[in-house]
Structure 1
């Protein structure tokens, strides 16, 4: 009987994953608005996660659903990106948003379910959270490496760089603001320049705040500078034009925002649930070792 139940749940995961992808990309095909595409994608993902949890009473089903929808959406994105003929599905930034939603929506729903605790009690949220974060940070590390060390990566984020190392704080942004005031560049260039350097380190700050939650504030603060400093040091020798003191400042700001987001999420979790986020789900046993968040 248990085997039959598992087969039914597995079939449900596959069915809902296919249904999710169909709805998401049909919406993408017929609507140009990013808000509509992402909104419908988020709603269908949340509904499917709710159905899976109600039927399986197991967070692992949401993880499997997330992996399957993410994998399929990434295949579609890659094929579309390298396809020369865009008559069927033109590639736009909305596709990246769909892939992100397929990872984020199950995590969001399970976080809320774990925090509120409505319905049947479900254990092992910590394992689900760990697995989801492993997937995310694998992509995140790949983006960091590609974006910082590939000369042709993300040209829209490097419009304002010079030809040598910049050690003068806020020199680039000052020039951009001056150019904007004289009508030489649009405001969007400044916004993209700032957001691309700040937002990329928000997940880094969030993850560090969780990993170092029991460490001192001084340790947390200097830890936010470790990866940005390593990146800038490598760029100094490999791509000097991208080595910029401002990037350290913006990375620190992004890390602080990420840390603040963790504190906020933990604060909300404590208010609703009465305990800290992952406070009882922080030990994961593999072989004879114990891993701690």
Structure 2
């Protein structure tokens, strides 16, 4: 590694640290936590642009993303563990803050890769693989927490006598009917549904990306198998509440993830005239 690379790496880490300090201060000082999130987006776009223009490859963008995701994840975990705390409160915006620090450079670099018409920038595929590994590692932490450590559960009660529901969405529909008739807020249910769907989106997206060369029915089995296995593990370990409705919501998230891939693929074909994640010198259809 030459002196220029060392200097750029040091500068990226220093600027990322400044960004984290600013995000933490904004989170602590301002009650409207979206301000901290907005700052993270703007700073991340600017720093990603600087990284790409100064080095002509995507490596420093990954360095920035890895540093920010790791340090904000540690920060949010510490705040979560010391609750209740009168000075700083943990809420869902901390999860969004971690996600924003990953997804902003990811989206920016995807756009730049699609828009670039020449060989000026290189290393996008390595960047994508590293960003995927970074996301999957932290996503596994989230899955373990949400399924087994502090399991998320719906706002309605489990069926009596250990009974199980085998009709998709029947229990959820019954609760919605009950809530409407009793004028009970449906907001907790909607939050629960949104969280279960969100947990399925990365499964669909990354299985479609990295399982592109697998037979269709094998991919289909993986799509369905992961949510089912997670629910069965909940049932076997007695953690959470294994239910067919959870599987259905997760599968909806998986479907959204697959659709997201096809949207990106269509956008890549329209903008750069090549399949998504296909190298510029590649002539075969990577996703056939």
For the aligned pair, the TM-score class normalised by the smaller chain equals 0.7 to 0.9
Superposed displacement of residue 228, structure 1: 1.4
Cα–Cα, structure 1 residues 141 and 249, in superposed 2: closer, same or farther, change >3 Å? same
Matched, 1:126 2:125: yes
Aligned-residue CA RMSD (Å): 2.6
Q: Deviations over 1:164-220 (max 9, x none)?
A: 332232222122212221235312022123212222101101112212334554443
| Equivalences for residues 202-221 of structure 1 within 5 A | 202-215=201-214, 217-221=216-220
Structure 1: distance between partners of 2:158 and 2:52: 52
1:5 counterpart residue number: 4
Superposed displacement of residue 81, structure 1: 2.2
1:167 counterpart residue number: 166
1:54 counterpart residue number: 53
Q: Deviations over 1:86-107 (max 9, x none)?
A: 4543322212211111111111
Superposed displacement of residue 257, structure 1: 0.9
2:191 counterpart residue number: 192
1:225 counterpart residue number: 224
1:30 counterpart residue number: 29
Runs (5+) with no aligned partner, structure 2: none
* TM-score w.r.t. length of structure 2: 0.87
Matched, 1:153 2:151: yes
Structure 2: distance between partners of 1:124 and 1:266: 19
Superposed displacement of residue 110, structure 1: 0.9
8 Å CA contact 1:161–1:242 kept in 2: the answer is no
Q: More displaced, 118-127 or 99-108? A: 118-127
Superposed displacement of residue 241, structure 1: 6.6
Structure 2: distance between partners of 1:11 and 1:251: 41
* TM-score w.r.t. length of structure 1: 0.86
Look up the SS of the partner of 1:280 in the other structure: coil
Structure 1: distance between partners of 2:154 and 2:281: 40
Runs (5+) with no aligned partner, structure 1: 284-291
Moved >6 Å (runs of 4+): none
Look up the SS of the partner of 1:213 in the other structure: coil
Superposed displacement of residue 236, structure 1: 3.4
Structure 2: distance between partners of 1:282 and 1:24: 40
Q: Deviations over 1:54-92 (max 9, x none)?
A: 111121111111111122212222222233574543322
